[in-house]
Structure 1
Amino acid sequence: MNESPSLPELIDMQIRTNGPMSLATYMGLCLTHPSKGYYRTSDPLGTKGDFVTAPEISQMFGELVGFFFVNLWQQMGSPKAFTLLELGPGRGTLMADMLRVACRAEGFRDGLDLRLFETNPALIAEQNARLEPYEPKWISDFDKLSAEPLLIVANEFFDALPVRQFVRAEDGWHERMVGLDDNKRVFGLSPTPIPMSAMPEAVADAPVGAVFEVGIASGEVMSRLSKAVAVKGGAILAIDYGYEQTQTGETLQGVRRHQFADVLEAPGETDLSTHVDFGALSTVAANAGLMVQPLTTQAAFLQHLGINERAKALAVANPGSASDVEQARDRLVSPQQMGTLFKAFCAASPGLVPPGFAP
């Protein structure tokens, strides 16, 4: 019996059959192909994977996010039934740390309906191992949620959603495509220009050669979640690397084994991501009726929530680990590391005052 084609072979066959594909189509195949995509077949996290996320660096991150949601839950009147949803929960580390803190609040555990948006079987098994006491349920569709108030957390989720790229030429904007040249995957431009009137005002004066990334998938996800929160009540917290206002600039990158990698070289084996356009997400959430907090850095968010005090408490409780605790705190808040590159975004029901954000 012949083996099924590899993901690179499938992509190349599709290009030969249908012509060059958009970057969004290419990213979607690379990351979420049903049987061969990067996020369907591997555990990308940790020192043996391709990257390390904030929850894996220190328990402090999840503990403070847990406090954030307890505070909002209490502001909402401590509802006796509510949904807590995490998008892309990784190994379940963030949620486990969150709930260890949050469930100390009287009534929180009793009212909790824990939902996880995940497609990777290996990660689902790890999530279940960590979160089984909280009776998690996995969803693949945002419509599978109850009518109860909805609290949503997404750490490094939006950066992994596919984007389209457009390049400014003399005759207008052209979409960047992935094609083949001598049987090698290469970037090229669609010959058909995009009318200037179809591009946002923020990039109207961009020079020839400028690149503009459009996160259509991110906008669709934010729209659906924002509309749900607007009806049910609640909040969305997203922490990711990105920028505050819509702008030009290419941010697509590939990472494999903690090193930058060619995004076209090994489909399905390389993590692909882009910086998040938080300005666009803010507009979507506001249009749905939510109040969007001023975007802040991860450092400011965690410091407002008390990471410095928590680090001191952990160091006192475990003197032998004091140096490790301080290094982890530094990695999360230092401007030279994750502190300013990563941003904290929150959109919430009117009347709520999310902690960690400047008034």
Structure 2
Amino acid sequence: MIDDPKTHRDTPLARQIKESIRRDGPMTVQSYMARCLWDDPHGYYRRQRVFGATGDFITAAEISQIFGELIGIWAGVVWRNVFGAPGAVTFAEYGPGRGTMMRDALRAARVVPGFSEAVRPYLIEASPTLAGLQSETLADFRGKITWGSKLDEFAPPAIIVANEFLDSWPVAQWIKTGDGWRIRGVSLDPAGELQFDTLDGDCPHEAFDALLPDAPPGAVVETQRLDRLATALQSLMQRGPVVMLLIDYGHTIAAAGDTLQAVRAHQYESPLASPGEADLTVHVNFYDLASTLHRAGLALDGPVMQSEFLGAVGIVERTSRLMAANPQRAGEIETSVARLLAPSGMGSRFKVLAARSPDLPPLPGFRAAVPANGSSGQT
């Protein structure tokens, strides 16, 4: 999206960021994104209602209850067939949003004998506001649920799920110029408005030239600090078996591209337009993610397209049963599931990757483990 300073809004955080740049100089895109999302008190996730029809975006779990139900049944099958039905298992969710997916998952997982008695739900949430909302959503299960803010402060054996979690992790951006690769950042234009700019500083020129030898001027490369996730999973694996299911929109082939985007009230706008009042996200690079987790010693299944994974775990059968049980809502149910599976939409844009302790067998819903180079060849 082309940035137009005329569309910028003078939000409280915008004023603070401008003052910071005047005082300390330009900031990296990574720092800008982090402040927009997590600044206290003006960051986006410090605000109240960001999910659902009255918020700024809707996740798959908000579109159809079937999404969360299938995740819950999948977790129950993993507990029984992969872990061997231990007496206690942590069922953790990173970035649980409103708690909708966990609620639907726990309700549906009751069909797996013994799982409800063994499961210990654990929500990893950094926002007190969202934690309060999750408590409301999960009122029927509240007595069993524990909240925490760190990625590895719970006990294995553990099944971890993360839906649209990594897309909000701040990215560093690098841009190709006539003089080579430079850091991309945010500065002020002559009128004092926010603008994207190139910054001085250390840049991995050789790595980018080797990865993208034909990249033209203006090409952008993004990198995320995925080692933080890998380190947390390594820490958990030292204490017991771990399985993680990651669902997010992104790509599986290393490529250049500026994927930073902003959504406010379900409408796209420039990432510089409304600091602190729009959701900033990026596309997850599943090539880097798989490579990072593989180097950390985890075995991988996938990535596959969301439509393929949901089909493998029974979305068609579950949808048919739900429509038969609720004929007055059959059209609504069918439409919502179609959104999850659409070949030109969520069904292909969203990818699913699973990681597991290396001594565990392959997980349900996947055809084969990902190659050692981390790429499945899908886009």
TM-score surpassing 0.5? yes
Q: Which residue of 2 aligns with 1:138?
A: 147
One-letter code aligned to 1:289: G
Aligned partner (choices 59, 65, 68) of residue 65 of structure 2:
59
Map of 1:101-250 to 2, 5 A cutoff?
A: 101-132=108-139, 133-134=141-142, 135-146=144-155, 148-181=156-189, 182-192=191-201, 194-199=203-208, 201-216=210-225, 219-231=226-238, 232-250=240-258
**In structure 1, what is the equivalent of residue 341 of structure 2?**
333
In structure 2, distance between residues paired with 1:99 and 1:117: 16
- Residue 88 of structure 1 pairs with residue 90 of structure 2: no
How far 1:296 moved relative to its partner?
0.6
Gaps of 5+ in 2: 1-10, 369-379
Secondary structure class of the residue paired with 1:340 = helix
Deviation at 1:198, TM superposition (A): 4.5
Q: CA deviation at 1:206?
A: 2.1
How far did 1:91 drift? 1.0
Deviations 1:149-169 (A, max 9, x none): 121111001001100110112
Specify the SS of the correspondent of 2:346: coil
1:68 corresponds to which letter in structure 2? W
Which AA in structure 1 matches 2:109?
Answer: A
Greater alpha carbon shift after TM alignment, 282-291 vs 90-99 = 282-291
Report if aligned partners of 2:73, 2:111 keep a CA contact under 8 Å in 1: no
CA distance in structure 1 between the partners assigned to 2:14 and 2:161 by the alignment = 33
**Residue 293 of structure 1 aligns to a residue in which SS?**
strand
The separation in 1 between residues aligned to 2:235 and 2:300, in whole angstroms, is: 15
- Please, which of 285, 303, 308 is the counterpart of residue 295 of structure 1? 303
Residue 358 of structure 1 pairs with residue 367 of structure 2: yes
Take 1:70 and 1:176, find their aligned partners in 2: how far apart are those partners? 44
Quickly say closer, same or farther: Cα 1:152–1:195, change in 2 above 3 A. Answer: closer
Question: Deviation at 1:357?
Answer: 1.2
> What is the match of residue 266 of structure 1?
274
Q: TM-score, normalised by structure 1?
A: 0.93
Aligned residues: 352
Which residue of the partner structure matches residue 3 of structure 2? none
Matches of 2:236 and 2:77 in 1, distance apart? 17
Shift of 1:200: 7.4
* Equivalent-residue separation in structure 2 for 1:175 and 1:329 (angstroms): 41
The answer as to whether partners of 2:233 and 2:242 remain within 8 angstroms in 1 is: no
Q: Is the 8 A contact 1:172 1:195 kept in 2?
A: no
Residue in 1 that maps onto 2:4: none
Q: RMSD across aligned C-alpha pairs, in angstroms?
A: 1.7
Cα distance between partner residues in 2 of 1:201 and 1:108: 49
The match for 2:83 is: 76
Q: Aligned with 2:86: secondary structure? A: coil
When residues 42 and 129 of structure 1 are mapped into structure 2, their CA distance, relative to the original with a 3 A threshold, is closer
Whether 1:44 aligns to 2:50 is yes
Give the deviation of 1:230 after TM superposition.
3.0
- After superposition, what is the alpha-carbon deviation per residue over 1:136-192, rounded to whole angstroms, capped at 9, x for unaligned? 12111224222x212111100100110011011232210111011121000110145
For residues 143 and 267 of structure 1, the distance between their equivalents in structure 2, rounded to whole angstroms, comes to 30
Distance (Å, rounded) in 2 between the aligned partners of 1:299 and 1:87 = 22
Deviation at 1:224, TM superposition (A): 2.4
Q: Distance in 2 between matches of 1:164 and 1:95?
A: 31
Separation of aligned partners in 1, 2:42 and 2:330:
42
Q: Which residue number in structure 1 is paired with residue 7 of structure 2? A: none
